[in-house]
Amino acid sequence: MPLASKTVAIFGGGIAGASLARRLSRDYPVTLVDPLDYFEVPMSAPRSLVAPNFAEPAIIPFPEALPTVRHIRGRLIEWSTDAANVQHIDGHTSTLSSDVSVLATGSRFSSPLVRSEGGTLEERKAFYSRFHFRLLQARNVLIVGGGPIGIEIAGEISETFPDKRLTVLEAGPRILGGTSPKLAAHAQRVLAERGVAVIVNERLVGRQPTDDLFGTEGEAETDRGRTLSYDLLLWCIGGRPNTAFMRSQHPELLDSAGRIKVDRSLRVCGQSSVFAIGDITDLTENKMAWHVQGQVKVAEANIRSVLEGRSDGFKHYKAKTNDPTMVVTLGSRAGVSHLPGLGLVTAGWLNRMAKSAHMLIPKYRKALGVPKADVLTHEIGIRETAAARER
């Protein structure tokens, strides 16, 4: 069979799936299955919540980001070793077969703050505008979850709206548990200087994560008897692996957390032509884009080996276990990071260069071969906010 006729199916169009699709589509027919009609740089979401225009360069239509990739708007609903059942956006189902399959379905979140479960580019932009209007009305914001998502959103809101009262509630012993204690302590100091209250070792009781970001004000109780009032409640508790499609046919391929078991070549355990990358793998490392790029390179090399009929020389991926590397933004002008070779970095200018100023939008536009675009500054968002207040 000519190599050009070998096909690849990738399920999931986040950073892992889209990056891999772009690289493989140079030489092979690639089909990407994702319910969205766009790629969004996920790191940009906290900034877009306070400055909706920031989303313009961060949200890229799939035809522009992946022009040589066939895109099916739908989601993987059942996977077996023989084929994959896909539910299309219009409700009908179909079976998709390929020579190599890649599972990159990512995480499912308690709210669409970071990633929408479905919809169009225009609907995503409208979401940011609607959230921004709701945020303008709120005086008292409660953020549940002190991981990177919750802390970055707290940083954005506290920088843009210094008059709002913010509370971060974290169930664990400290915020940012996936990185070094020094980084977490610095982030907490910056937030405290802005008047943000951080409560650890407490969780809400009698409440469940909800997608309704636009509900009315209320009160929440913690397991220590504390009452927290809010005008706006944001669930930022992180995501769960999006692997329901595998539970009925192959539950043995999932670990206790619902993540897919992979070998060192990033193939699903026991499978010769099925790979898994990104958040859904059982790799013992922080689930972050910093590590995903390394997985994409290894997966690409090994997929090419499979498509070329080679049975040896596979690359191995080494999980970044206990790696504290992380860059946490605290608004457009501040941040804190733990970087290889440098350790803890608190200098505002360096963190601004690394991420805070642009939220990595230029990096991923370049990776997808999309023309450069001006990344709208946070100051534009501030001016929009001021104008909205006057109205």
Q: Say if 133 falls within a structural domain.
A: yes
pLDDT band at 13; cut points 50, 70, 90? very high
- On the CB side of 374, CA atoms within 13 Å amount to 5
pLDDT band at 2; cut points 50, 70, 90? very low
Q: Say if 372 falls within a structural domain.
A: yes
Angle ∠(112,294,34) on CA atoms, nearest 5: 35
Q: Does residue 132 have a pLDDT over 70? A: yes
Q: Say if 289 falls within a structural domain.
A: yes
| Residue keyed to tokens 């590397």 | 325
Question: Do residues 252 and 154 share a domain?
Answer: no
Please state, as a whole number, how many other Cβ atoms lie within 10 Å of the Cβ of residue 87.
17
Q: Does residue 388 have a pLDDT over 80? A: no
User: Which residue type occupies 92?
Assistant: H
Question: Do residues 87 and 184 share a domain?
Answer: no
Question: What pLDDT shows up at residue 383?
Answer: 43
Question: Do residues 248 and 378 share a domain?
Answer: no
The per-residue DSSP string of 80-103 comes to -SS-EEEEETTS-EEEE--SEEEE
pLDDT digits (tens, 9 = 90+) for 135-165: 999 999 999 999 999 999 999 999 999 999 9
Q: Say if 268 falls within a structural domain.
A: yes
Q: Which residue, of 280, 307, 334, is where some domain finishes?
A: 307
Average pLDDT over residues 367-391: 62
Average pLDDT over residues 271-287: 94
The CATH number of residue 350's host domain is: 3.50.50.60
Question: What pLDDT shows up at residue 318?
Answer: 94
pLDDT digits (tens, 9 = 90+) for 198-237: 999 999 998 877 656 777 889 999 999 999 999 999 999 8
Question: Do residues 221 and 366 share a domain?
Answer: yes
pLDDT band at 384; cut points 50, 70, 90? low
* Domain range for 65: 3-111+239-307
Q: Does residue 325 have a pLDDT over 90? A: no
SS3 content of the chain, % helix, strand, coil (to 5): 35, 25, 40
pTM: 0.92
Q: Is 66 helix (H, G, I), strand (E, B) or coil?
A: coil
The token duo for 99 is 């020579």
Average pLDDT over residues 377-381: 49
Question: Do residues 130 and 223 share a domain?
Answer: yes
Average pLDDT over residues 339-350: 91
Q: Which residue, of 255, 273, 307, is where some domain finishes?
A: 307
Q: Give the distance from CA 103 to its chain's centroid.
A: 16
pLDDT band at 5; cut points 50, 70, 90? confident
pLDDT band at 4; cut points 50, 70, 90? low
Question: What pLDDT shows up at residue 80?
Answer: 86
Domain count, the chain: 2
Q: Say if 83 falls within a structural domain.
A: yes
> Percent of the chain scored above 70 by pLDDT?
94
Average pLDDT over residues 112-135: 92
